[in-house]
Amino acid sequence: MSTIALTQILLNGLALGAAYALIALGFVIVLNAAGAVNFAQGELVMAGGFAAIALAPLIGEATALPGLFLLPLVMGLMGLVGAGFAWLAYFPVRKRHQVAVFVSTIAAGLVLQHLANALFGAAPRAGPPLITGDSLSIGAFSVSLQQIAVMVCAALLISGTGLFLGRTQTGRRMRAVAQDPEMAAAIGIRPKRMITLSFALAIALAGAAGLLLSNQFFVSPNDGGLFMLKAYIAVTIGGWGRLDGAVIGALLIGIFETLVAALASYLVAEALLYAVLLVMLVFRPSGLLPERARARV
Amino acid sequence: MFPKSAAVALAALLVSSLTAKAETIPVLVPITGFLSLEGTAQRNGAVLAIERYGKDLDLDAEVTDTGTSPEGAVTALRRALEDKPSAAVASMLGTQMLAMLPIAGRAGVPLLTVSGTAKITEIGIPWVFRFFPGDSVVKVAQARYAVEELGAKRPALLYQTTAYGQSGAEHLRRIMQDLGAPLVFEEAIDISVKDMLPALTRMQEAKPDLILLHLHSGSTALVIRQARDQNIALPILAGSAMHQPTTAALLEPQQLGGVCAESASSPISEPEGPVEDFTAEYRARFGTEPDAFALAQYDGASMLIAAKNAGARTATEVRDWLASNSYDGLAMTYKSDGKGNMAHDALIVCYDGESAVPAIKRRYENVSGVK
């Protein structure tokens, strides 16, 4: 395999991993805030893709950056969906048995899937491109402008999320609630508000991932399961509860899958990925970056 | 006394005739899950035929979503069998059909399907009728067109890991070998794979002169798009998923240049005649374009109604009628080969790179020599 081909494959893996990282990041934000796994995260990615398709006519073809203009709109809309999601699928059941929370999120995910099927039909659809234009060629090396845009957007969103959670007062409050809700409440922070905000942020990121993936890889109502699985594996590999771990785990999955598929086959890549996951669970269950101890669903 | 009892009997007869339930034909198809696109087309075709031709017989269609698991299909079938139907329209997903067939066989209810999986008519259960040409027909057409018309000598094959994909790949592998153009590369692709570049890169190293595809809709579009993005200009001869208007809608017309596909029919490619009427009615009823699966199931349900019009009432009578008669449908003439394979024609459509509507390039009639 030539160096050029290998570089192109690695870039593809990195772009896919970057989008997975956004999904995994949202997954961990909810995990930390609510102490529960949001099994609808994949369907919310799918919903973000369809939201982009539904909102695309607002932008029309007048701009060369249709997806980039849509990104804040989609994130805003999905943020609102996230806040609603918290009040519909999490708060009503959070004091019941832990199983109730994940059953509730699974149910919400299925509702989203069927809703998308009813509204948009079963066929895969292509979302708006982030930027117009096909590819950038340097000699024999050709790289898709969409891929570059996806990677840049994902990097900015991941960095922005890190800065927001680490450097702003609201972000610190969200982290305080994630670490110890009772203590946070004792010092005047409103846990419900912070948890709602966490859901909004996580689902806005899922929506962004949906938009980023929808043009190159299409979107269909049944895509949720795949995204959820990737996020789950990324978080398990990276480290439960760690934002940086989730991002690293997702990037590793993207590159690993693409590279092994290119050198051997998709079946080998898939089998090896799950084998690595099993090894991780046996020998390093806390992931690459150790988890901060806390009971979770 | 007599007039009173006669009046009571008459009243009972009237009440029973007024409350008599129309016969319901169960339509058990995957409306959700990875095959929902094709399953929805199958449902639409069956429903349209029953609505159009079943009125006089007081027939009604009851649709149940089978999802994509064999368990979902079995549950749906068991529930449907409680009403003792004379026939059922059943899933196009091969794994679901393989799970449903023993149950339908024991209950003695014929299943009408458009599943392409070869095995469903090879396991010796005489209660299945397939109205879409199986792999033994369409893969012959695909392979012959590749060799005879496109001059392929070194074909590469990308196929889905599902039962559908493996069945088609097995046929293509054998037929291409027999035609003197053995595969130089093949790769199985899971339905969840989004990035096709690894397979395309390894495929190029084998230096093929044609790409054969046997994939579902989304994967077909992803391969074509990513191949064209990588400036791979090889001709592509795809499976029936490519003829679906929704698949073509995912691609730019110029990306479709050099792309052909096998299919049982292509309703949108026929500008006049009864198929055009069907297309117009389908568009008006469902707000979407029909594909070959919809037309095949429409023909299948129409043949069921023809059986009933000919006097077949019970499930056994329907089975016997379907097994022993031929029917001139819109897509082709259907006749059982003794195993329940009713469709024996295939065609090849090609895109010109300017339009998303393909043109019919070649018809292969009576491939299995049954008619």
Could you report the predicted ipTM of this complex, rounded to two decimals? Answer: 0.86
Closest CA to A159 of A244, A76, A42: A244
Query: What confidence category does residue B2 fall into, taking pLDDT thresholds of 50, 70 and 90?
Result: very low
| B198/A262 CB distance under 8 A | yes
| B221/A124 CB distance under 8 A | yes
Select the residue of A123, A134, A217 nearest B194 (Cβ to Cβ).
A217
Mean of pLDDT values over B112-137: 92
Mean of pLDDT values over B98-112: 97
| B31/A122 CB distance under 8 A | yes
User: What b/e sequence results for B288-303 when a residue is b if at least 16 CB atoms lie within 10 Å of its CB, and e otherwise?
Assistant: bbbbbbbbbbbbbbbb
How many inter-chain contacts (A to B, CB under 8 Å) are there? Answer: 96
Select the residue of B195, B231, B250 nearest A218 (Cβ to Cβ).
B250
Distance from B35 to chain A by nearest Cα, in Å? Answer: 8
Phi first, then psi, for residue A208 (nearest 5°) are -60, -45
Mean of pLDDT values over B106-119: 93
CA distance B89 to B23: 14
Assess whether pLDDT exceeds 60 at residue B8: no
Closest CA to B56 of B14, B20, B22, B27: B22
- Contacting B with CB below 8 Å, chain A residues are 1, 5, 8-9, 12-13, 16, 113-114, 117, 121-126, 134-135, 142, 144, 213, 216-218, 220-222, 226, 257-259, 261-262, 265-267, 269-270
Query: What confidence category does residue B5 fall into, taking pLDDT thresholds of 50, 70 and 90?
Result: low
Distance from A266 to chain B by nearest Cα, in Å? Answer: 6
Distance from B251 to chain A by nearest Cα, in Å? Answer: 9
Query: What confidence category does residue B3 fall into, taking pLDDT thresholds of 50, 70 and 90?
Result: low
Assess whether pLDDT exceeds 90 at residue A50: yes
Q: For residue A188, give both structure tokens.
A: 């005047």
Select the residue of A113, A125, A142 nearest B231 (Cβ to Cβ).
A142
Within 8 A of A114 by CB-CB distance, chain B residues are: 32
| B201/A1 CB distance under 8 A | yes
For position A239, what pLDDT does the model report? 85
User: 3-state class of A242 per DSSP?
Assistant: coil
Closest CA to A238 of A287, A187, A168: A287
* Dihedral over alpha carbons A205, A209, A211, A216 (to 10 degrees): 170
Assess whether pLDDT exceeds 80 at residue B9: no
User: 3-state class of B182 per DSSP?
Assistant: coil
Contact B36, B30 (CB under 8 A): yes
Q: What are the pLDDT digits (tens) for B311-356?
A: 999 999 999 999 999 999 999 999 999 999 999 999 999 999 999 9
Task: Order across the sheet with B346-350: list the strands.
Answer: B185-189, B155-160, B210-214, B236-238, B259-263, B346-350, B359-364
CA distance B47 to B133: 21
Of A53-62, A112-121, B33-42, the one with minimum mean pLDDT is: A53-62
For position B18, what pLDDT does the model report? 45
- Average of per-residue pLDDT values in chain B: 91
Mean of pLDDT values over B147-155: 97
CA distance A3 to A11: 12
Alpha carbon of A181 to those of A33, A198, A292, B35: distances in Å?
9, 13, 15, 44
Assess whether pLDDT exceeds 80 at residue B10: no
| A265/B246 CB distance under 8 A | no
Select the residue of B195, B217, B249 nearest A258 (Cβ to Cβ).
B195
For position A63, what pLDDT does the model report? 62
- Average of per-residue pLDDT values in chain A: 88
Q: What are the pLDDT digits (tens) for B166-220?
A: 989 999 999 999 999 999 999 999 988 999 999 999 999 999 999 999 999 899 9
Contact B147, B177 (CB under 8 A): no
Within 8 A of A8 by CB-CB distance, chain B residues are: 197, 201, 230
Mean of pLDDT values over B111-120: 90
Contact B349, B361 (CB under 8 A): yes
| A123/B202 CB distance under 8 A | no
Name the percent of chain A lying above pLDDT 70: 95
Q: What is the pTM of this model?
A: 0.85
Query: What confidence category does residue A146 fall into, taking pLDDT thresholds of 50, 70 and 90?
Result: confident
CA distance B204 to A262: 12
| A9/B194 CB distance under 8 A | no
Within 8 A of A144 by CB-CB distance, chain B residues are: 229
| A122/B199 CB distance under 8 A | no
Contact B259, B286 (CB under 8 A): no
Assess whether pLDDT exceeds 90 at residue B32: no
User: What b/e sequence results for B123-155 when a residue is b if at least 16 CB atoms lie within 10 Å of its CB, and e otherwise?
Assistant: eebebbbbbbbbbbbbbbbbbbbbbeebebeeb
Q: Select the residue from A61, A214, A260, A266 to test the B interface by mutation, using most B Cβ atoms within 10 A.
A: A266
